[in-house]
Amino acid sequence: MTDRKLISMATEVMANSYSPYSRFKVGAAIECTDGTVFTGCNIENSAFGATMCAEAAAVAAAVSAGQRSFKRIAIISEGNSYCFPCGSCRQLLYEFAQELEVLSARADGRYVSYSLASLLPMAFGKEHMDNL
Ligand code: THU
């Protein structure tokens, strides 16, 4: 799948964003190593701390379907700035995909690519709990 196609899937799901509080719509599409794609949008809550990011929604859909191995994620928001995963989502993604490629797209179609490793250096992961 091309980067553009993955971004277009993130763009499509962004339309379903439930974001009455921030009015900041986000969409994410995560590609599994077998090529399957799962999407998610941000889902806000009146108790703000219960808000779910688009990336977390996409991971939840994928893991719930039995997927645990990912190679790429595309994230898009409406504005003309690049939306990168928040710190909590970086950690969530790291659990399943230490080698993940992160595409961040803008509404005007431009996008950038980073490794998750560069966005979350010296991450804590299950490999550090080898006493378990
Ligand atoms: N948000 C995401 O969905 N993903 C991100 O990477 C950054 C933030 C959402 C959460 C909230 O609904 C809104 O954007 C404003 O923070």
Which atom from ligand 1 is nearest to the alpha carbon of 22? Answer: 15
* pLDDT tens for each residue of 21-40: 999 999 999 999 999 999 99
Give the model's pLDDT for residue 130. Answer: 74
Ligand 1 pocket by C-beta < 6 Å: which residues? 19, 22, 24, 26, 42, 44, 51, 53-55, 75, 83, 85-86, 89
Burial of 88 (0-12, 13-18, 19+ CB in 10 A): exposed
Give the model's pLDDT for residue 132. Answer: 61
Give the model's pLDDT for residue 30. Answer: 98
3-state secondary structure 57-102: HHHHHHHHCCCCCEEEEEEEECCCCCCCCCHHHHHHHHHHCCCCEE
Give the model's pLDDT for residue 121. Answer: 97
Length of the chain: 132
Instruction: Spell out, as residue ranges, where the chain has pLDDT lower than 50.
Output: none
Tell me which of 17, 18, 23, 24 to substitute to probe ligand 1's pocket, judged by most ligand atoms within 8 Å of the beta carbon: 24
